[in-house]
Amino acid sequence: MISLKEAIKLNSNELNTLRKELIEKIKATKEIGAYIEQLTNSDIDESFAGVPIAIKDNIQVKNWSITSCSKILQGYKAPYNATVINKLIASSLAPFGRTNMDEFAMGSTTESSYYGKTLNPLDHTRVPGGSSGGSAAAVAAGIAIAALGSDTGGSIRQPAAFCGCVGFKPTYGRVSRYGLAAYSSSLDQIGPITQNVEDAAILYDIIAGYDKLDSTSANLDFSPVTPNLNPNRKLKIAVIKNYIDEASKPVRDALNLTIEKLKNAGHDICYKDLANSKYNIAAYYIIATAEASANLSRYDGVRYGNRASADTLGQMYANTRGEGFGVEVQRRMLLGTFVLSSGYYDAYYIKAQKARAFIKREYDEILSEADIILMPVAPSVAYKFGELKNPLSAYLSDIYTIGVNLAGLPAITVPVASDENGLNISAQLIGAAWQEQVVLDAALNLENIVKGN
């Protein structure tokens, strides 16, 4: 597949040919389930005539059906563009199709979608990760030049790692969330999923920057990183040893070999430990579900999407939500409502916020001594559908990604190896807040080392 860097240089005729080729390739790989809808040639007008970019189904594109892959939003059409979509169009890129996802971004496997699951292009018996599994699978399968996803607890980085592409979560507040369907407002962040690090930098530069329409957008000076990418930058890298030691043997061996390559390339390696990752899990699932219970309360059958039939208003609310939300979404909403309820708010929610502050402080302390943190993305390679038998097992698969969201830091995943079955293994690189340049420099350096450049 042509890279984003190359696609940007195409003329209108070449882009038209590229779109036609993509449309045909998507039809031929329909079984993967990466897209739930894509443009056809007849749909393409001046607004969508740029470089085609796949869009996760929770990012508003004016006049498109945007459903967060939920039954409750069937029939809803977006009345406006998300800020990131306007930025794409202004840079001669264009939304090309809606990619599959876990319902309302609540999941790690892209199995909970109303439209059906997405398959991992590397092995169709295995999950592509989630919640941005459709975006990652589309890029990995060569049916998207690049894609946008959203990351609340690893939902860009984990599927990118499972599918073998690059996934980048910017600092919280660096990319506008205006037009992103809210799951957990203090954690959600839009970011790119791409074929390589340079493409991630290009797409990041296009979508980043202050937005007055987003109250959580950081009003800070923004300098594009792509013109200053430095693959030869020497860095001090803090390796989180206890997290690597906890990972499965293939992940552990691959990352230890990667660390040796980084040493040989002249980087300064030090070893650190972070607190038990189960603290991250506990804090994250209290905060995220609490915010989800508030955010999703707006879907009541009155203003958005589907409305169930009932004799009373109260019964209509109950029927609409009971029929419209899937099992996992209902589970998280109930959990969030519980931790916010009288008598439990102090016991759970306040303690989780204190734990969040502790987690952020730990990251900040390590990053005061090092340029970059290196750790696994997930404990294992992509697992088989049905392998995780209960929700808690799925939650625990996020142990190495959610701390980054709690701390609001930028992080990227870069493929470094394959296991004996050809499944991808990636390293996760984490930087200090607003230091995307350092993170992308480190990632490009690592990518070149892995490729032998």
Reply yes or no on whether 56 is catalytic. Answer: yes
Burial class (CB in 10 A: 0-12, 13-18, 19+), 310: middle
Q: Among residues 192, 128, 121, which one has the least CA distance to residue 161?
A: 128
131 within 8 A of 106, measured Cβ to Cβ: yes
Q: Are the CB atoms for 166 and 87 separated by under 8 Å? A: no
DSSP string computed for 434-451? T-HHHHHHHHHHHHHHHH
Task: Give the number of other Cβ atoms within 10 Å of residue 364's Cβ.
Answer: 13
CB distance 102 to 331 below 8 Å = no
Interior CA angle at 177 toward 445 and 349, to 5°? 100
Q: Which helix (H) or strand (E) holds 413?
A: strand 411-418
Check: CB of residue 362 under 8 Å from CB of residue 275.
Answer: yes
Sorted by sequence, the CB contacts under 8 Å of residue 437 that are 6+ apart come out as 223, 225, 228
CA atoms of 306 and 70, how far apart (whole Å): 10
Q: How many CA atoms does the CB half-sphere of 66 hold within 13 Å? A: 22
- Residue 132: count of CB within 10 angstroms of its CB: 38
3-state class (DSSP) for residue 119: coil
> Is 155 assigned a catalytic role?
yes
HSE-up (13 A, CA, CB side) for residue 28: 9
Query: In which order are the strands placed within the sheet that holds 166-169?
Result: 35-38, 93-99, 51-56, 146-150, 190-194, 166-169, 411-418, 424-430, 372-376, 236-240, 268-272
Catalytic residue among 108, 132, 155, 217, which?
Answer: 155
Nearest to 192, CA basis, from 55, 19, 47: 55
Q: What angle do CA 355, 360, 363 make, to 5 degrees?
A: 130
Active-site annotation holder among 56, 87, 117, 272? 56
User: Residue type at 206?
Assistant: I
Q: Which of 108, 112, 113, 131 is catalytic?
A: 131
Q: Is 131 a catalytic residue?
A: yes
The CA radius of gyration of the chain, in Å to the nearest whole number, is: 21
DSSP, collapsed to helix, strand or coil, labels residue 56 as strand
- The two three-digit tokens of residue 336, written as one number: 């969030």
Which of 72, 77, 6 lies closest to 37, judged by CA?
A: 77
Task: Please list the active-site residues.
Answer: 56, 131, 155
